[in-house]
Structure 1
Amino acid sequence: MGKSINEMETYTYADLKKLDSAEGEHWELVNGTPYLQARPSYRHQEIAGNLFFVFKQYLKGKKCTVHQESEVNLSPAKEEDEIITLVVPDLFITCHPEKIDGQKFNGVPELIIEILSKDYRKDRWRNFNLYRDAGVKEYWIVDQYRNSVDVFVLRDGEFKLHGYYGLGEGEENIIRVNILEDLEVHVSDIFAQ
């Protein structure tokens, strides 16, 4: 039998596995506080699939790998009863596949991509600060409602806006991936239906 959440308690990855949840629900853990993730919309899944395809094709035969909706342990701890920060980004790229233990990635990915959901503040600010503090080199925020992408690059411990990309007239529409220097992603490929 699972357990329910007590807002005053600090949770670990081991506790998350015991929570009552419906099939398909995903939980994230930030500094010991569990957060239930909304189920992605059809459009959200479509955009994630488009991005996964672009990166998977490019990374074929290379050391770096792309992962979709996989658990990432940002805690330095490796034991389930000590992990207090575990996220499930929409996509991430790592050049350290040896840090994947079969269930989760233990470490800081080079690139994380989040597609904005209805819970805009969580995606925009909590994850922004969390990923910055963890040392993620590149962070994309994909806005499915505006068909735009904000790309941030970590410099001197802070995320700096690398570029704003969109489908609108006068907007940049080719993203040059900072961590993969020779890859260009067309915004139209991200939002293709």
Structure 2
Amino acid sequence: MKNILWRYVCSVIFILGGLCSSVYAQSPQNRPPVCHRWADESDAGRITDLLEMARQGNAQAQFNLATCYAVARKFHLAAPWYRKAAELGMVEAQYNVGVSFEEGKGVARDLQQAVFWYRKAAEQGFPNAQYNLAECYDQGKGIAQDAKQAVSWYRKAAEQGDAAASFALGVSYYEGKGVARNVDQAKIWFGKAGELASHAPF
């Protein structure tokens, strides 16, 4: 049985390696074209308009401005704008604030704050945040380790088609960590993870 499961694991583990790290989320809307030509003087007016809208409290503009700064790797400028959009309830921004705190991008690294913002986004149903929150519970990052909570959040993300969460849920079932050991369920979730990972865009 171990050899059978190992084939499932090997089929996805290298693909999933690129999917498990925390990365900034993009807005459901396309990233504004100005982000692709940040230093182009012809876009100066559009940058000014975006900044003005952000200052007026437009969450989408705040998120887009933060994304432009993040694309330019100016994380110290991106972080406060993501925070403003997050405080207005924008789920992608809440997740990105969590990433900022977890990785120390533009802010001092603070795992407890990362958990706080991941939870806000996770409770709104954002699968990336659900996975990252599960991982925090799984590893005891910024919060007391709790395998059952980890499984609960892995499952929520997996049921939305998150490949990394599906794989992690399979591992939980195989190891009996936070859930009763069930090799058949482990095989099902490893299989789903492999299928999802094989169709993931790169």
Shorter chain as denominator, the TM-score bin is under 0.3
**Larger-Rg structure:** 2
More helix per residue: 1 or 2?
2
TM-score between both structures, scaled by the size of structure 2: 0.26
